[in-house]
Structure 1
Amino acid sequence: MLNHLFSSGKIGSMETRNRIVMTAMGNYLANPDGSVSDKDIAFYGARAKGGVGVVITECAFVDGERGRGNSHQISVANDQMIPGLKLLAEEIHRYDGKVVVQIYHPGRQGISAVNGNLPMMAPSEIECPTVHQPTKSMTKDEISELVEKFIHAAERLKKAGIDGVEVHSAHGYLIHEFLSPRANKRTDEYGGSLENRMRFLEEIVTGIRARCGKDFPLLVRLSVEEFTDTVGFPGDGLQLPEGVRIAKRLEELGVDAIDVSSGTYETMNTAWEPTSFEQGWKIHLSEAVKKELNNIPVIGVAVIRDPEYADQIIGEGKLDFVGSARQHFADAEWSNKAKEGRINEIRKCISCLHCMETLMGADRSSIPCQCGINIEAGRELEYSSLQKDGEGRTVAVIGAGPAGLEAARILAERDYKPVVFEKGDRVGGQLEYASKPPHKEKINWLTDYFQAQVEKLGIEVRFNTPATLVELKTLNPYAVFIAQGSSPVIPRSIPGADGEEILTPVDILSGKIKLKDMKVGVIGSGMTGIEVAHLLAEEGNDVSLFEMEDNIGPGIYFQSLIDVMSHLGPLGVPMYPKHKLMSLDQGKASFEDLETGETKEFMFDYVVLSLGTKSNTELIEEIQSNFETVRVLGDAAKPGRIRDAVEAGYLNAYAL
């Protein structure tokens, strides 16, 4: 079973126990001076312990003056970093894993404020159309100096006992900017022809090979396709045929592996995919590169989540090593679970992009990079082991949504006996509704994971059984966890909101109400409102979307908003920001246009009010007055996102 995936591999002189690679992703765990932290060591060590063959670290900066991506990122810019890197290598080797450090410079995609308020260096003085930072065109002397910094960084890694180095030439960072005709407009020997645009990368690669020798594995990560057509510039930037030519040239230069990716910040949904991108959607990129290479292996990524699929594409010759970053963030034990046949126990990444959202905002908030469904990710030191001190004591858990199920899972791991009361007939709670809009099927992976945990741990779930005070007292629990979710808000302050034609998102997403060929107004353009509008429009209804704020989708992370709007837009759904709902009357919806002050009226067959949710509070006071230890979790405490619910369940069960 999975013989291809678990066969040994080779990258240059480095032999690997399997074909699984954790590709690079930022984690915001390094010490402020750039040294490898204890958190880093625990984080990467957990993935090696979990069975990953090759762990590639986050991109480490080679230039400490103006080459940082954030304030908690690994540095390879000076010799003081070597001791920490050595400890990292030793930790990975403890578990028979291999570790490669990715080195880079952010170029025009860096943030000036993190780099001494200096302009970001780039091949040409063209600012990144996404981050809009001051940018300067590099002089030849600056290019030469930076080439040396890359080479010195690789030398430090070799001295530290790191197994190999990966030169980050992808995703719109500095080296990629030189490669891309969209970012590189130079007229000297570093611009123009592909040969010239490759010169910077060639000088780095040949320099590393000369200084570190042929026995030090040298990988290059490459965006072989920018997908500029997705942002309205078809044919511009780096296209696949040129990407393949670059890969072939790198093989000629002695590179040991090509790590194939795609995209830039401008087209970042093709690099760090939101939920609508299907598993394997860009495997053709790796396949195209592999067909043209003679002897060196190809690492590929493509939203790979299923071990069976990973094994299949290796067997089909589409790549040699299967890469993923977010999947190993979501489940450090993915590899071991796959090898041991425990595939149903894998916590699959649902592509919710909570990791990207928190990483991008980490320097501006108190929240570090987080996984939306794995609370231990990045906090391995904090939650290194669960105390087995439950002594079989019963804990009642009200609600089988993500908060209740995560609490029950941790409680069972701690040797408590959780008993879950669920008024419905299946696990999942709000996840059941969240999975119903188009392209949200990955949410079911989380529900499946919880179901597998219930079965594995023998957790008792009483379906179709609302909790009552009588039943709880009969159970005589040591503690009661209330995770009974939330319900849609229906503002009674809006005249007519109680009309028969007024629906909620739950009415639609639960399948209770089926609409077709109807004229429907959706009020509220949070993610739920947009997704309900999308579902209704796909099912043949004439849908309009309204929002009181200045823009559609207020507060939604921009990658997720771009993704859902790219599907909703072609359906021709009219959108009305700055429209405040004033009243409803038998299908007539009256709005105040907040820009002009005028009143506008629309007629609908049905109106869906997507104006948020409120906690379900029934029985909370009675339970709190009858039991000594009571915890209120997830939406029952405060409506939030999946991460909020899972975290509440985990932390409360951990602390009991």
Structure 2
Amino acid sequence: MKYPQLFSPLKIGSMEVKNRVVMTAMGCSMANIDGSPSEQMISYYEERARGGVGLITTEITRVNDDTGVGESAQLSVSHNEVIPGLTKLADAIHKHDSKVFVQLHHPGRQTPRALINNKQAVSASDVTCQIIGEEPRALTTEEVYGIINDFVDGAWRAKYAGIDGVELHAAHGYLLNQFISPHTNKRTDEFGGSTEARCKIILDIIKGIRRVCGSDYPIAVRITVDEFLGEAGLELPEGIELCKMIEAAGVDMLNITSGIYETMNTVVEPISYSEGWRTHLAKAVKDVVSIPVCGNAVIRHPEFAEKLLVDGNQDLIGMGRPHLADPEWTNKAFNNQDDEINQCISCLRCFETVFTVSAFCVPIQCSVNPRLGREARYPYPKKDGNGRKVVIIGGGPAGLEAARVLANRRFKPVVFEANAALGGQLLQGSKPPKKEKLHWLADYYTTQMDKLGVEVHLNTKATVEDVKALDPYAVIVATGSTPIVPATIPGVDRDNVYTVPDILEEKVTLKDKKVAVIGSGMTGIEVSELIAEAGNEVSVVEMQETLTPDGYWQNVVDVMGRLQEYNANFLPSHTLKAITDEGIELDGETTSLDCDAVVLALGVRSENAQFDQFAEAFDRVYKAGDANQVGRIYTATTEGFVLGNKI
């Protein structure tokens, strides 16, 4: 066996898991409105159990319906009516020899009023979360004991339903974390002050669960041991002391993590964070406790996971997003198919979904796995292709996803790609600093084309005659997009004016120049960082009042922080009027700017000039990806997936 430690069993209290792979909790917004698991949610979790995961932890599961709502479509253990659904969920997971914990959760101050009928959020103290921006009120001592009972009652319901154990969410700035942190706990009663007093709420919950569920019912605690706030917050030395107290209270596992909403990029990391960046946190706890320790740290590759276990860094491998990206991650690792794992690229589409549209009960989405949340609708590929050929023009994510699905359906896809490698704009997108993970998706598709025997023609721009010679059943035009270059701007055709692809494809090399980047979307600021890293002085010009208007805030914070270190100049509310010998003319507070080069990052438009030609020549012609509508990776892969299943 290639990874003997990863696939060795382990006892967590009285329970044994078959391997060391843990799917950690992630909000998925798939529950019924009453908090019971929907068929969609059950299919979603069962798919990960079928994929080989040893232990699955459910999404944040509310214990209180009054102030404890974290999502509109959130799993609940707050009332007895959810028990039959939880039993069905447990049975579905147990069919595949996997175990399941329910994560008991209360958001405290990290929930907006809109989710709790416009009531004021509660917390340990009245310290406002800067991300939510709404002042909470401090719980009374009596109310704290009520919350303790809510957690205990929730654990009893989980056990009664057949759930294997529970995990207390004392991390990421939620209510239990708000009590243990000196940043958010300013109380003067028995639940505030010393480290032990701030931990009392967790210790009392553990005692209560032991009282109603018995001494052998597994209890885990997910705990932030460093909030990355410096001296103002919880730091690792005190986090270690908390873990020792919690172990002494009789829990069976510690799940070590970091951060709160104000330091969100240390909770759920954007693409720039390296694999294993915070493994030292789990190691620091494992060195002082005797119960199993689960660690989370952008773990992506089975080889890296195995090394963490062999080195004694931790006992269990905690991963959330990798199991969204590929529910077969564990089985593929077991079967030595590492190169076939569809790796999470840390793009944060999943959390962007949860944070921005969860109020509308939209399930979690994944850029690299468009089947996520559609497991019941698309259980297995139909084998109905009968060898019919489908020509796909364009080897970007939309075309390649369609080809992958069609090949699995026993069609014979034929891919034409005008460039020398598959991947389309994924290859360009991987060029800015710290974005190399995007290349993982291009590599995955390249491997899939090879494994599935897909016919690929590189360096080939398909013509109608080429395609006619193949006599295809259908044609998919997935030719991507081209940069917008406004012809109405004087000087836009000057030799020192470039597009984003010019920079990313290294058609031009800028060094020791003053460069103006026009447009501050994510593409604009990412190419700005690449230009700045090469030793240039960068100014970013944006016509809107807000920089990066199209970006998800975590990604924006990540890139902008590094751009600020390069002393980039930002000019929001400025419109490009002309490009001159001296630089650029602007409409705004600044009217002119000296620069040696101008890079246009004004977005893209669909490149579908070939579509009409093919539509006239063939009966079944479809558009996909940017050729159909300009969007992100998720849009492209989803269109390819749906189209591949529809043809």
Range into which the TM-score falls when normalised by the shorter chain = over 0.9
C-alpha separation between the residues in 1 aligned to 2:144 and 2:359? 31
C-alpha separation between the residues in 1 aligned to 2:183 and 2:353? 29
Other-structure match for 2:619: 628
Other-structure match for 1:261: 257
2:613 is the counterpart of 1:616: no
Other-structure match for 1:252: 248
2:637 is the counterpart of 1:646: yes
2:295 to 297, 300, 303: 300
Other-structure match for 2:407: 412
C-alpha separation between the residues in 2 aligned to 1:110 and 1:362? 14
2:159 is the counterpart of 1:163: no
C-alpha displacement of 1:215: 1.2
| Distance verdict in 2 for CA 1:367–1:102, change over 3 Å | closer
C-alpha displacement of 1:588: 2.2
C-alpha separation between the residues in 2 aligned to 1:409 and 1:620? 22
C-alpha displacement of 1:608: 0.3
Other-structure match for 1:218: 219
1:516 to 500, 511, 517: 511
Q: SS of the residue aligned with 1:77? A: coil
2:578 is the counterpart of 1:577: no
Other-structure match for 2:35: 34
2:581 to 579, 586, 595: 586
Deviations 1:367-397 (A, max 9, x none): 4321111011111111112111111000000
Other-structure match for 2:266: 270
Other-structure match for 2:464: 469
C-alpha separation between the residues in 1 aligned to 2:124 and 2:609? 62
| Distance verdict in 2 for CA 1:41–1:367, change over 3 Å | closer
Q: SS of the residue aligned with 1:583? A: strand
Figure out how many residues of one structure are paired with residues of the other and give that number.
646
C-alpha separation between the residues in 2 aligned to 1:458 and 1:523? 43
C-alpha separation between the residues in 1 aligned to 2:361 and 2:510? 43
CA contact (8 A) 2:585 2:592 kept: yes
2:489 is the counterpart of 1:487: no
1:342 to 337, 352, 355: 337
Other-structure match for 2:140: 139
Other-structure match for 1:231: none
Deviations 1:68-112 (A, max 9, x none): 111100010011111011011101100000000000111000121
The AA in structure 2 aligned to 1:113 is A
CA contact (8 A) 1:437 1:535 kept: yes
Q: SS of the residue aligned with 2:151? A: helix
CA contact (8 A) 1:501 1:586 kept: no
C-alpha displacement of 1:125: 1.5
C-alpha separation between the residues in 2 aligned to 1:591 and 1:262? 44
C-alpha separation between the residues in 1 aligned to 2:463 and 2:582? 39
Q: SS of the residue aligned with 1:507? A: helix
Q: SS of the residue aligned with 2:261? A: coil
C-alpha displacement of 1:498: 1.0
Other-structure match for 1:238: 234
The AA in structure 1 aligned to 2:373 is G
C-alpha displacement of 1:237: 0.7
CA contact (8 A) 2:196 2:242 kept: no
C-alpha displacement of 1:283: 0.3
CA contact (8 A) 2:60 2:75 kept: yes
C-alpha separation between the residues in 2 aligned to 1:363 and 1:536? 36
Other-structure match for 2:496: 501
Other-structure match for 1:127: 128
CA contact (8 A) 1:426 1:463 kept: yes
Other-structure match for 1:325: 320
1:421 to 416, 420, 429: 416
Other-structure match for 1:175: 176
Identity %: 47
2:539 is the counterpart of 1:538: no
C-alpha displacement of 1:133: 2.3
C-alpha separation between the residues in 2 aligned to 1:10 and 1:565? 44
CA contact (8 A) 1:499 1:586 kept: no
Long gaps (5+) in structure 2:
none
C-alpha displacement of 1:364: 4.5
CA contact (8 A) 1:587 1:607 kept: no
The AA in structure 1 aligned to 2:270 is P
Q: SS of the residue aligned with 1:522? A: strand
2:393 is the counterpart of 1:398: yes
C-alpha separation between the residues in 1 aligned to 2:61 and 2:247? 23
C-alpha separation between the residues in 1 aligned to 2:581 and 2:445? 42
Q: SS of the residue aligned with 2:443? A: helix
C-alpha separation between the residues in 2 aligned to 1:86 and 1:205? 23
C-alpha displacement of 1:366: 6.9
CA contact (8 A) 2:122 2:138 kept: yes
**What pairs up with 1:26-105 in 2 under 5 angstroms?**
26-105=27-106
CA contact (8 A) 2:29 2:358 kept: no
C-alpha separation between the residues in 1 aligned to 2:524 and 2:106? 40
CA contact (8 A) 2:25 2:320 kept: yes
C-alpha displacement of 1:419: 0.4
C-alpha separation between the residues in 2 aligned to 1:364 and 1:115? 11
C-alpha separation between the residues in 2 aligned to 1:99 and 1:57? 7
C-alpha displacement of 1:337: 0.3
Other-structure match for 2:285: 289
C-alpha separation between the residues in 1 aligned to 2:194 and 2:432? 46
C-alpha displacement of 1:555: 2.0
C-alpha displacement of 1:618: 2.2
CA contact (8 A) 1:358 1:368 kept: yes
Long gaps (5+) in structure 1:
229-233
C-alpha separation between the residues in 1 aligned to 2:367 and 2:381? 20
Q: SS of the residue aligned with 2:622? A: strand
C-alpha separation between the residues in 2 aligned to 1:309 and 1:400? 30
C-alpha separation between the residues in 1 aligned to 2:534 and 2:573? 27
Other-structure match for 2:19: 18
The AA in structure 2 aligned to 1:93 is H
Q: SS of the residue aligned with 2:262? A: coil
CA contact (8 A) 2:176 2:201 kept: yes
Deviations 1:412-437 (A, max 9, x none): 00110000001111100101100000
The AA in structure 1 aligned to 2:532 is A
The AA in structure 2 aligned to 1:218 is I
Other-structure match for 2:560: 565
Q: SS of the residue aligned with 2:461? A: coil
C-alpha separation between the residues in 2 aligned to 1:153 and 1:127? 27
The AA in structure 2 aligned to 1:529 is G
| Distance verdict in 2 for CA 1:621–1:518, change over 3 Å | same
Give the TM-score of the pair, scaled to structure 2.
Answer: 0.99
CA contact (8 A) 1:552 1:577 kept: yes
C-alpha separation between the residues in 1 aligned to 2:516 and 2:72? 45
Aligned CA RMSD, in angstroms, stands at 1.0
C-alpha separation between the residues in 2 aligned to 1:178 and 1:469? 67
Give the TM-score of the pair, scaled to structure 1.
Answer: 0.97
Q: SS of the residue aligned with 2:605? A: strand
C-alpha separation between the residues in 1 aligned to 2:481 and 2:256? 43
Q: SS of the residue aligned with 1:235? A: helix
The AA in structure 2 aligned to 1:515 is L
C-alpha separation between the residues in 2 aligned to 1:365 and 1:116? 15
C-alpha separation between the residues in 1 aligned to 2:72 and 2:170? 22
2:443 is the counterpart of 1:443: no
